[in-house]
Amino acid sequence: MKYLNHITEAIGNTPMVKLNNVTEGVKATILAKVEYLNPGNSVKDRMAIKMIEDAEKAGILKPGGTIIEGTSGNTGMGLALAAIAKGYKCIFTLADKQSKEKMDILRAVGAEVVVCPTNVSPDHPDSYYSVAKRLNQEIPNSFYPNQYDNMSNWAAHYESTGPEIWEQTEGKVTHFITGVGTGGTVTGISKYLKEKNPAVKTIGIDTYGSVFKKYKETGIFDENEIYSYATEGIGEDILPKNVDFDLIDQFIKVTDKDGAVMTRRLAKEEGLFVGWSCGTAVFGALEYARENNLTEEDVIVVLLPDHGTRYLGKIYNDDWMRAQGYID
């Protein structure tokens, strides 16, 4: 009989899919690494299970413990699946800008969800970072993975996602493009690919309201760059330790609207029912390919982090899209 002992054993080995219809004017081959086909419907499954298993090995997470994490939703889902497999409880803090679907999904898999305000500084006591840290201090036998600074994050992608991309492209990948949030995905994959071929370029996709692009270009953490934005899952108002800026050749910023519209196009024109930051990453990849006149010899791999079910009340709701001014 062929079966998995638990759903977490289905993590990884996601397919690569060629984009055909949104690529007008682009000669390069653009391949999408479709991470929503992980069991928790996102790339975050990979690092979630590794953070848990590494914490167990280190004796930090003990039987019957509680996992407490600040998340935009997807890491929480990965942690929740691991917790079910291993018998832990979960408490997740989310900013109130995150979609209702994400909160409902986390509750559906048994997690407690604490909603925190978006428009406060990271060190404010009510921010979702601060609340997670406080709960960790208050609740006995609890573990705070802290995906932003936990090195198991990037290591998961160095060990799994990077090798998969190299193998699936038979080493022909020339550019790797992904949205940057905690930094684990971009750092782990880039480290692996550049070790295989130092000529591979990594392009990080950032959003307006985030500090990454200016910090990469100037070395200055400019608080004037920080303001509220709607795109979920990428960009930051902090500098996570998982972001290795030396491995990222360039950042491109994409607007909330351009990312949202491209997300809808991916569903309608490519059959890829993906999340908001997926459209953002593809928009940035196409812009980069056009501006740099990439040729038929170039192979771009763009990572699509999550599934459209997380955004039914936003991106895939015409009334919401009209209210934002994203569609007529």
**Percent of the chain residues past pLDDT 70, beyond the cut:** 100
Answer yes or no: same fold for 7-37+161-323 and 44-143: yes
Distance (Å, whole) CA 52 – CA 64:
13
Name the band, by pLDDT with cuts 50, 70 and 90, for residue 83: very high
Distance (Å, whole) CA 181 – CA 165:
20
What is the average pLDDT value for the chain, to the nearest integer?
A: 96
pLDDT at 106: 96
Tell whether domain 7-37+161-323 is in CATH 3.30.2270.10: no
Name the band, by pLDDT with cuts 50, 70 and 90, for residue 97: confident
Average pLDDT over residues 74-94: 96
Catalytic residue among 2, 33, 44, 194: 44
- pLDDT tens-digit profile of 5-14? 999 999 999 9
Residue 132 has pLDDT above 90, yes or no: yes
Amino acid identity, position 209: G
- pLDDT tens-digit profile of 284-315? 999 999 999 999 999 999 999 999 999 999 99
Residue 70 has pLDDT above 90, yes or no: yes
Domains of the chain, by residue range, sit at 7-37+161-323, 44-143
Contact assessment for residue 278 and residue 310, using Cβ atoms and an 8 Å cutoff: no
Distance (Å, whole) CA 118 – CA 110:
24
Q: Using only the alpha carbons of the chain, give its radius of gyration.
A: 19
pLDDT at 54: 97
44 carries an active-site annotation: yes
For the record, the structure tokens of 125 come out as 């006591």
Name the band, by pLDDT with cuts 50, 70 and 90, for residue 114: very high
Q: Closest by alpha carbon to 283, among 264, 310, 311?
A: 264
Distance (Å, whole) CA 177 – CA 202:
6
**Helical spans, DSSP H, in the chain:** 44-57, 74-86, 100-108, 128-138, 152-156, 162-168, 184-196, 212-218, 256-270, 276-291, 318-323
Average pLDDT over residues 94-118: 93
- CATH number, domain 44-143: 3.40.50.1100
- pLDDT tens-digit profile of 183-229? 999 999 999 999 999 999 999 999 999 999 999 999 999 999 999 99
- pLDDT tens-digit profile of 142-168? 999 999 999 999 999 999 999 999 999
